[in-house]
Structure 1
Amino acid sequence: MTSNRTRPLAALLTGAALLAASAGCGTVDITRAKLQDDVGPTYRNMYVLQHRLLGQDADAPAQLATADCAKGGPETPDEGPGDDWTCQVYWPVNGTLQTLSYEVQVKATGCYTAQGPAYNVGRQDLHDPDGRTVPNPLYAFDGCLNTG
């Protein structure tokens, strides 16, 4: 049987142990390089998916998609979570380098959502060759940084 005095101490120690155990959980080292390394290939995959949904071949043009990301302005370090990331995505189409700018929101977990301008990537929904309405994978896409 515990006394009334030891219960608050036990609760405090349990809380401190839980806090110490969870201190390193849920956070990821978010850097410009890690974001660029993920956004480029994820864009490439979404580009290929969009064209396949539309019944078009898209393997070759999107093979070399790359990204250049920055956070905030010139005074802001390019690291950490936030809704102030921008990634320029580059990919070759018919010998010409195409560029799109995505606004990117990065969470502390390292997962992000990138949203492109509708006037460049198309509307939120597309119509496939059978007339069905399908989500446009280039309008907005999600990803998570490699933590390894």
Structure 2
Amino acid sequence: MGRLRRSRVHKAQRDVHRAMRTRARTKDLDQIQLIDLDPKNRAKLEAQPLDYEKPGLAQHYCVECAKYFETDFALQSHWKTKVHKRRCRALKEPAYTIEESERAAGLGRENKRPSLPTPSTDAAGDIAMQ
């Protein structure tokens, strides 16, 4: 009987890529800046009613990272991590506007060709170019 050997397929790498595609995503920075950091909404998020479907019964929530934690100790230790501090630093910068994103994609006003002059009629009824 021959020796059994493992097949040499890159199964682990494939599973990592699949996990990245199907990962539960958190809120984007612009959503957090415009909605969650508003003082009224922030107060609601920090004092949520009991919810049995969410981790920690929805009592331990980090507004900046949009994450729930099991215990208060886990939340306080999260506040000391690099991930949270990096996220807070990113939230201090102003959010991109739609105009900025269009300019970055080359759709802004600066890159458009000037429009052709439109013909108009003057007082005598002659067509003049502006």
Query: Which category describes the TM-score, using the shorter chain as reference length?
Result: under 0.3
Structure number having the greater strand percentage:
1
Q: What is the TM-score with the length of structure 1 in the denominator?
A: 0.24
- TM-score, length-scaled by structure 2: 0.27
User: RCO (CA 8 Å, sep 6+): is it higher in 1 or 2?
Assistant: 1
Larger Rg: 2
